[in-house]
Structures are given as structure tokens and as C-alpha cells.
Structure 1
Amino acid sequence: MSQQAIRTRIAPSPTGFLHLGTARTALFSWAYARHHGGQFVLRIEDTDVARSTQDSVEQILAAMKWLGLEYDEGPVYQMQRLERYQAVIDQMIAAGTAYRCYCTPEELEAMKAGQEARGEKRRYDGTWRPEAGKVLPPVPAGIKPVVRFKNPVDGDVSWEDLVKGTITISNREIDDLIIQRPPAADAPEGTLGVPTYNFAVVVDDWDMAITQVFRGDEHINNTPWQINIFKALGAPLPAFGHLPIILGDDGLKLSKRRGAVSVTAYEEDGYLPEAMLNYLSRLGWSHGDDELFSREQLVSWFDGTHLSKSPAQWDPAKLEWVNSQYIKQADDARLAALVEAQLAKRGIAAPAARLVAPCALFKDRCATTVVLADWLSMYFAPVMPAAEDLTTHVTDAVKPALAALADKFADLEWNKAAIQAAIKETIGAFGLKMPQLAIPVRVLVCGRAQTPSVDAVLELFDKEIVIKRLRSV
């Protein structure tokens, strides 16, 4: 390992947001490179021109930044490399490892329909594949050809997968892959064709000297073609590791098209990036029984072993628990800045400096910064106690005590000890027990019946707000 420069990559397609499965792949690729002192590359696979968008690119970059998955090279965009792909295709055609195919889409469909009717596998039949002694059809006028890879017809493709072990697929199971499509009919003269995924990814990994490729196991069926193209180019093969899928709550695969949520949505929902990294890393990998660990520990431990062959189950409740642990440990000033942003989305102006102490008081109760903002909004915006709480706790019997407490507060030096003393004096004067006064105070001032210690909560309010809310009944 020390004699080889480790280089890994993540190569998302900007046809949508960076979803959880791709984020996990990025994390594993990044951690593997960092563990081995190697480099991590970001490539944007944007050859699906019709569906790729700049918004998706920006979301991918934002998600990578939020997760802290810094890359050493990139982003590299495939659509900026068309001349390189064309040069390799020209080289392959000259070498006889690729060829032009003039079949129309209608001819291909008729070909495959006939195969299906005969009970055969649907595949390209090699009409334009050059062979010794074979006479090819006349080149039709007006047809822009695709370019196909001349896949070996015999033998097997076998590799030692970093996750799944030995995988072998017969070359007879795969046909001559299209590796370049022609430019549109109305494209200007000289416009280059666009490469297909399985070809472009090989040239990219070759040029970028990628040594390990981690990706989802939906790519296993692509790997034989890619290995054969590597061999046809005389390029060194990377090691492949195909990660099992992530299942949603319904037991079906999470994906861009079904059930997945963007990584940045979790940022918006109040999760911390270190918690997300911690949780994602445990989806298909483990280090003993360790549940919570730092980025530094992950890098130290992630050597490419202990990767699971079985699908991982996305568990929102477990993610919440992990996030709650990180929130408890988080710096209060950092949390205050995050809560300030959450409150600003609600139109509530709350300076971060005023939020530091409340964050310290309430963070142990919160799984996300959204929940923390729910709590702390009471300090800066009106509260709406539930009618049931008002009826149950703010009774006619306790209202005189609430009024008396408000009067005491008016002349009070505002600190926790003085607040506690005023509450105790009022309880004694009216013959009440602590909950009989403290709960109504919470309902009126905080909008809810349960909070941390009432004196600690009230100390963080502006005194005038507390008095006003106590006198509102």
C-alpha cells in the first residue's frame, strides 16, 4: 500500500440533489484516501445534458462543503473533456477495439423485438461489428453513427471486489456497448459526440490515476464493460468496491427518484454535519461496537475492511439520537449561531449573543437545532399556550398568586436566586405547593407546561416580558 499513491473519487451526476447513498459513498472514498495518506477527487459527471442542471451542481458542492469532505482535485466536469474522449475513441477505432454502428433506433428495436419473440436475450447482434472476412453493409446516407466498444465474445470478466469478494461475469452476458452518441442532427459542423457513462468513467479514472473506486452495487453490471475497456486501452485497473444499497423505512431502496432526501435538507432540518458523518459511516461499516466517534477516529479506523455485504437500513430515530449526542457536546456559541439562522427563517430576530445561555440550558433536551429553536423562540416572540393547559393549570384559584408574583418581580433584581426566592415567598403566602405555581408560570411565560427549572428559564427572559405575560390573565 505504501508503494502506491492512493487516489479515490466521487463522481455524482448533477441530475438532482446529492442524496444519502452518494453522500455515504463520498464519505467512504474520502475516509479511505485520508487513512492511506492519499488524495480524493471530485468529478461531476454531467454528460446527461438534458437532465443536468447548474442548481444540482451547486447543491452537490454545498453538500460536500457542509459534510466537510474536502477534495484535493476538482470539481472536474466531463463536458469540458469532450476532446479527450474523442481522441481516445479515434485511437480505439484505429486499433480495432471500437467501431461505428449505423443502425437506426427503429432497426435496433426491431432487432431486439425479434430476439424477444424467439426467447433470446435482447442485445445488439453485431450487424456493424467488423470481423475478419466479414462484409459490412453499405454505409447508409444521412445516418450519424454511434460508436460501439468491441467487447470480447468469449471468456469471463473477474475481479476481487473490495466489499463482495470475487465476482465473475461471462462476456457472453454483455454486448457491444455504445460508447459515444453522435451530436444532434442540427448541431453545428464539428460538434463532438457525447460519450456514454461506461466509457467516460474509464477514461476519467485512467487519466486521474484513480486506484480505488467505491460505488453503489447497482454498478456491478457495468463493471465488466469498464474492465474490458480498461484492458483495451492498456490502462491500469483500479480496485472496485461495490457498496450495498441503503433501504428506507419501507424496505425499498433510497434513491434520487424514490424516497431519498437531499443531504442539504438535513442541514436545514437542524442536523450537525459531524453527526451525519458519524451516522452515515455506520451504514455498511463498523468498528467494533463503537457508535459515536470523531472524524479523526473514522479516518484512523477506515482502512477499507469491515464493509458489510448486506443492505443498510436508514433509521431516522437513530440519526436523531446520534445528533442529540453531538448537540449536547456542541459549543454553545456555535449552537447559538445555528439557532439564530433557524429563527430568522421564521421571521424572528434573535441575536446570537442572546442565545448562548439559552442554548446551554436547553440543548440537553433537543435532537436538532430546529427543536432547540422551537424552545428558544419563546424568548423573542409571543407564545400561544394551549387552551387545555390554560384551563388545567391557570385556574381562578391560582390567578391571585400569579398577580402577586408579577408584582414581586417588578421590583426584583433579575437573577436566578432572586427569582427563586420570590417564587418561594409567593408559594408560602398563598399556601401553594411548587407545581401549583411553577406550572402556571411556565404555561403563561413559556407557552408550555414542562421546562427546565423555572427560575433558570425565567432568568434568561427580559423581566418586562415575564411580568407582561403573567399579567395577561
Structure 2
Amino acid sequence: MTKNVRVRFAPSPTGSLHIGGARTALFNLLFARHNGGTFILRIEDTDTERSREESVAQIIRSMKWLGLDWDEGPDKGGNYGPYFQSQRLELYRKEAERLIEEGKAYYCYCTPEELASRREAMLKAGKAPRYEGICRNLSEEERKKYEAEGRKPAIRLKVPQEGETIVEDIIRGTVVFENSVLDDFIIMKSNGMPTYNFACVVDDHAMGITHVIRAEEHLSNTPKQIQVYKALGYEIPEFAHVPMILAPDRSKLSKRHGATSVEEFRDQGYLPQAIINYLTLLGWSPPDGEEILSMEKAIKEFSLERVNKTAAIYDVKKLTWLNSHYLRELDLDYITSETIPFLVKKGIISEEESKKRYEYIKKAVEISRDRAKTLDELADSIAFFLRDVEEYEEKGVRKHFAKENAAELLLKGAEALEELERFDKQQAEIAFRSLADAMGVKAAELIHPTRLAITGRTVGPGLFDIIELLGREETARRMRKAARWIKESGNLTKAGGEN
């Protein structure tokens, strides 16, 4: 690639950063880094009714959390700023006025009511609604008459009525649009604000954008934008429209399909590394078909030519599988520090206490993370290490506490642990198996009720890892507590103990 690659992600701050937007930002970043280019973040906030400052903050926060770091943009600056469209209005007005002077655009005095009436009439007549160029050739006298009425004009671009506009798309190939379906569209509204199709062209040129990589839904805007490029005499960048992301039922992705915003996934305990890995594979695949991809490898392998033309299917199961992989494989201190806020949020431990007991929490995370799929799940799974067991899993009670000798086994197991000279998981296991032999029962008949007694659950990390970490005194105390609970609960065998 000969010219210096410059790409941009240009979200409108009307809501949270969603999975689709994050994927678009990621593909831009990967393309820029692969080609030694520049990645720009530009906030398109000219929709004054819908743009929100909190959405700007949320988008920036989400991108930083994901590691989608930009080279130019808000918080960074750069030679092509400002990076908020609301701060670039003079540039749009100047370029629109130039088009008026060159006879390539004109003032339109049609009111919204008049336009709506004409649109309705066209629909009734079975025609596709379009602007018929009513103000295209107004005389000076007609213009003055409208202005005397207090009408504030919009500015429309003069679009060729015949011929074709051809979009050469890196992903989709050649796409042809008939000019007859393009009306003279508005480039500046009557309130002095630019339309999307005008502002983004002016900005992309002013910022030296070489490749416009964006969602497929913008493909229909591209012929209009090409007309703006031509009218302004700008060089047209290369376009790449990435496929849509559909729900598993192939419908449009929405809230009913679960979490769709980056912050929702973060709050549910997904790791940024897993989300980035997942988004990388959503519509693109590396030559070797590898599923586990670091950002470094993705940068090395990425090319727009390998982006699929067909829609990508959103699969939260695959994301969860990737998340469980990263939970197991990433640095233990990192996973521990990421788990602690979930423990605090759930009231399992205070922030102050988490600092004092960090090493203990780290050990609990180490023996538990293999079974967890999210940080939220991991926090729940280690809760019993940090607070007493208040209740026992119902199916476990029926299966393991309902046996006639359950309380006796727990009491003798507690004694066996207390009598150990050296207390560790190996010695605890030897003691349990020796006790089971002495009492003429299978080791499982002691192991299962012990697990339930000290964790409240029937599944979890290895029992003897748990016993070692909980410690001799706490393990024995919980076993005695459970034995007492069994005795006080009456004849549990009637509850349907399973053998």
C-alpha cells in the first residue's frame, strides 16, 4: 500500500457503544495497525436532539476498556482536529456556500409540511417518494419572496438525474446505483446544521481519510457521498462495508437477544480480551482458522479481503467459551483484581477487606477459575471462602445429608482433620480415605457431604484444595455446624435421600 493509511471510527453519541460499533472500530484499528497507518476517533454529534454528553463519555470509556486505542481524537488531539463535528460547523458552512457559488447546490425553501404533503401524494400515486427539484431553478425574485415570508432555507445538492453512481467496495465488489433514484438531497438543514452525508465527506477529506471501513447499513449512503466528493472536487477514498451482525434467528440484533452493549458485557463479567477475540472472528477469519487470537496476531493477519460478504451471526455461547478460556489462561493477579469488584458489588466482601485478604482471595481464584465462565460467576463460586455457609443446596441435602450416617461421618471427619500433625491437602485426603475404610463406607460417602457442609454446594474445585485453603479450624467448624443442622432438621431420609 503506497499511501499512508488513515482510517476513522465515527460514532454518533446517541447511546452506548454496541457490539456492532465495537466491531467496526476494531476492524478499523486492525487495518490501520496492519498497514502502519493512523486510527482516528471522530464524534459525529451534529444531531443536537439525540446527541448526549454521557454517551460520548460512555463510548470513550468502552473503547478504552476494550483496548481500542486511537492515535488522534478526543483526549489525544492531533493535527486534524477538532474531533467533534459540533466544533467544525464553520467548515461545513464554508464548503456548502462554495457549492452554491459554483452552481452545484441551491437553496430550498420548501417547508416540512409541503414536503410531507408531496411525499404522501407520490405514495398514493404509486411512485417512489423523492424530491422533485422544485427549488432547483428559482429566480432571484422567487427567492426574495420566500425570504420575505420568513422561510429559512436548507441547501440541496444538485444530483445528476441520469447515469449511474458506481461504488467500488473492497468487500462487496462493484455496486451500481441508478442516479434516477437519487434526489437532490439536503446537505445543510434550515437550522444551519450539516446532514450526515455532507459532514462526514467534508471531514473525511479534511482529515485525510484513505479508507472508509464501516457497517453495511451505510452502503446505501455511499452513492450520495460520492456525489458530494465529486461536487467538492475531493479525491474519493476506498470503501469497505462490513457485513451486518444478525441474531441467531437471523433477525436484526436487539435487546431481546440479551446484552448488546459493551458495558453490559463488562458488567456481566466478560473480559475485554475475550470480547476483542470474539469480535475479530465476527465476519473475519485468519488464514489458519485459529480460534484463540491475541490482538498482536490479529493485527499481523488482518486484511479486508478476508472479511465475509455474508452476515455474521451473533453467538453469545462462543463469546462465553472464549471468556472461560481467558479466565483460565490470563495472569492470576489480573484475574484476581478483575474479580474483586464483583465480590464488592455483591456485598461478599468490602473493598478494605479485599486489600487485607488479597493473597487469600487470589488462592481462591486460582483453584476456582477453571470452572467459571465469567467474572460474575467466579465471584459467586468463591463466596463461601469469604463468608460462612448459610444454606445448603436442596438437591445436595436430599442426596447427601439424608443418609442415616451423614451427621456421624461429618463429625468423625472433623475429628480426623483436627488430629492431623501436618495439615495440608495430601494429609487431609489420606485421613478421609483411612476414615472411610475404618467405617466400612466408600470415600465418596464422606467426601460428598463434606463438600456440601463446607461450601453449601455439590460442585466446585477439588475438595482437598478447598479444605487446605479454608484451614483446619474453619473446615472442622463447618462440618460440625452441618452435622448439627442435619440432626435439628429431623429425619431427612423421608425427604427422599438418593443412594
TM > 0.5: yes
Percent identity, aligned pairs only?
A: 40
Structure 2 residue identity aligned to 1:376: I
Deviation per CA, 1:291-332: give whole Å up to 9, x if none.
Answer: 112111100011221111101111111111122222221111
Structure 1 residues 336 and 47, CA, compared in 2 at 3 Å: closer, same or farther? same
Q: Give the aligned residue type for 2:176.
A: T
What is residue 375 of structure 1 aligned with on the other side? 381
Q: For residue 190 of structure 1, what is the aligned residue in structure 2?
A: none
Question: Which segment is superposed worse, 10-19 or 417-426?
Answer: 417-426
State the 1:134 CA deviation.
Answer: 10
1:424 lines up with 2:433 in the alignment: yes
Asked if 1:364 corresponds to 2:370, the answer is: yes
Match of 1:344, SS state, is helix
Are the structure 2 counterparts of residues 352 and 253 from structure 1 closer, same or farther at C-alpha, using a change threshold of 3 Å? farther
Q: Give a deviation string over 1:123-159, Cα, whole Å, max 9, x none.
A: 111111138x998563241111111111122221112
For each residue in 1:2-45, what CA deviation from the matched residue of structure 2 results, as whole angstroms up to 9, or x when unmatched?
A: x2010111111111111111111111010000000000000111
For 2:115 and 2:329, the matched residues in 1 are separated by 61
Partner of 1:342: 342
Separation in structure 1 between the aligned mates of residue 254 and residue 109 of structure 2, nearest angstrom: 35
Q: CA deviation at 1:386?
A: 1.7
Whether contact under 8 Å (1:332, 1:357) holds in the other structure is: no
Alpha-carbon shift at residue 428 of structure 1 (Å): 2.9
Contact map agreement 2:6 2:40 (CA 8 A) in 1: yes
Residue 467 (structure 2) pairs with residue 447 (structure 1):
no
CA, structure 1 residues 108+51, in 2 after alignment: closer, same or farther (shift >3 Å)? same
1:56-455 to 2 correspondence within 5 Å?
56-75=55-74, 76-130=83-137, 136=142, 138-140=145-147, 141-183=149-191, 193-254=192-253, 261-288=260-287, 289-349=289-349, 350=354, 351-383=357-389, 384-394=391-401, 395-412=403-420, 413-455=422-464
Aligned to 1:188: none
Higher helix share: 2
Change (3 A) 1:144 1:152: same
Change (3 A) 1:135 1:151: farther
- Structure 2 unaligned spans of 5+: 75-82, 484-499
The CA distance in 1 between the partners of 2:246 and 2:34, in whole Å, is 28
RMSD (CA atoms): 1.9
- Structure 2 letter corresponding to 1:361: I
Deviation at 1:445, TM superposition (A): 0.7
Structure 1 residues 228 and 58 mapped into 2: Cα distance closer, same or farther (>3 Å)?
Answer: same
> What per-residue deviation string (whole Å, max 9, x for no partner) do you get for residues 330-355 of structure 1?
11111111111111110121443222
Cα distance, 1:31–1:46 mapped onto 2, change above 3 Å: same
Q: In the alignment, which residue of structure 2 is the partner of 1:187?
A: none
Q: Which amino acid aligns with 1:142?
A: G
Q: Distance in 2 between matches of 1:93 and 1:21?
A: 37
What is the rounded CA distance, in whole Å, between the counterparts of 1:28 and 1:406 in structure 2? 58
Which AA in structure 2 matches 1:57?
Answer: V
Partner of 1:461: 470
Greater CA deviation, 3-12 or 347-356?
347-356
In structure 1, the gaps of 5 or more residues are 184-192
One-letter identity of the residue aligned with 2:317: A
Q: Distance in 2 between matches of 1:353 and 1:147?
A: 66
The 8 Å contact of residues 106 and 157 in structure 2, kept in 1 or not, is answered as yes
Q: Secondary structure at the residue paired with 2:235?
A: coil
8 A Cα contact 1:385 1:448, kept in partner = yes
Deviates more, 1:426-435 or 1:33-42: 426-435
* TM-score, scaled relative to structure 1: 0.93
Q: Distance in 2 between matches of 1:56 and 1:466?
A: 49
Q: CA deviation at 1:260?
A: 5.8
Determine the C-alpha separation between the residues in 1 that align with 2:45 and 2:225: 18
Which runs of structure 1 show a deviation greater than 6 angstroms over 4 or more consecutive aligned residues? 256-259
SS at match of 2:305: coil
Aligned residues: 462
Retained in 2: the 8 A contact 1:21–1:254? no
Are the aligned partners of 1:154 and 1:170 in contact in 2 as well (CA < 8 Å)? yes
Moved more, 116-125 or 295-304: 116-125
Aligned partners of 2:413 and 2:446 also within 8 Å: no
Contact 1:214/1:243 (8 A) holds in 2: yes
Other-structure match for 1:186 = none
